[in-house]
Amino acid sequence: SQQGEEDPQALSIQEGENATMNCSYKTSINNLQWYRQNSGRGLVHLILIRSNEREKHSGRLRVTLDTSKKSSSLLITASRAADTASYFCATDPGYQKVTFGTGTKLQVIP
Amino acid sequence: EAGVAQSPRYKIIEKRQSVAFWCNPISGHATLYWYQQILGQGPKLLIQFQNNGVVDDSQLPKDRFSAERLKGVDSTLKIQPAKLEDSAVYLCASSSPDRATDTQYFGPGTRLTVL
Instruction: Kindly identify which residue of chain A lies nearest to residue B96, measuring between CA atoms.
Output: A96
Taking only Cα atoms into account, the Rg of chain A, rounded to an integer number of angstroms, comes to 13
CB–CB of A31 and B44 under 8 A?
A: no
What is the number of residues in chain B? Answer: 115
* pLDDT (mean) for B10-29: 96
pLDDT in tens, A54-71: 999 999 999 999 999 999
Confirm if A25 and A91 have CB atoms less than 8 A apart. yes
Q: Mapping DSSP to helix (H, G, I), strand (E, B) and coil, where does residue B72 land? A: helix
User: DSSP alpha helices (H): ranges in A1-110?
Assistant: none
CB–CB of B31 and A96 under 8 A?
A: yes
Give the pairing type, strands A19-24 and B5-7.
Answer: unpaired
Put simply, whether B105 touches A (Cβ < 8 Å) is yes
Can you give the pLDDT at residue A94?
76
> Cα–Cα distance between B84 and A8 in angstroms, integer?
29
Kindly report the nearest CA distance between residue B111 and chain A, in angstroms: 9
| pLDDT exceeds cutoff 90 at A25 | yes
> Cα–Cα distance between B115 and B87 in angstroms, integer?
9
Give the pairing type, strands B10-13 and B110-114.
Answer: parallel
Confidence of residue A96 (pLDDT cuts 50, 70, 90): low
> Cα–Cα distance between B82 and A30 in angstroms, integer?
36
Other C-beta atoms closer than 10 Å to the C-beta of A40 total: 10
Task: Give chain A positions within 8 Å (CB) of B103.
Answer: 33, 45, 48
A-B Cβ pairs (cutoff 8 Å, strict): 55
CB–CB of B108 and A98 under 8 A?
A: no
Can you give the pLDDT at residue B98?
65
Q: Which residue did the predictor score with more confidence, B52 or B45?
A: B45
Put simply, whether A100 touches B (Cβ < 8 Å) is yes
Kindly report the nearest CA distance between residue A28 and chain B, in angstroms: 17
Q: For residue A107, give the nearest of A8, A33, A2, A41 by alpha carbon.
A: A8
CB–CB of B4 and A42 under 8 A?
A: yes
Listing DSSP states for B36-71 in one string gives EE-TTS--EEEEEEETTEEEE-TTS-TTTEEEE-GG
pLDDT in tens, B23-35: 999 998 989 999 9
Put simply, whether B103 touches A (Cβ < 8 Å) is yes
Confidence of residue A44 (pLDDT cuts 50, 70, 90): very high
| pLDDT exceeds cutoff 80 at A2 | no
CB–CB of B42 and A2 under 8 A?
A: yes
Confidence of residue A4 (pLDDT cuts 50, 70, 90): confident
Can you give the pLDDT at residue B71?
85
Kindly report the nearest CA distance between residue A90 and chain B, in angstroms: 9
Kindly report the nearest CA distance between residue A4 and chain B, in angstroms: 9
Handedness of CA A73, A9, B105, B74 (dihedral sign): positive
| pLDDT exceeds cutoff 60 at B99 | no
As a whole number, the mean pLDDT across chain A is 92
Give A67's Cβ-side CA count (13 Å radius). 15
* pLDDT (mean) for B92-99: 81
Instruction: State percent of chain B over pLDDT 90.
Output: 77
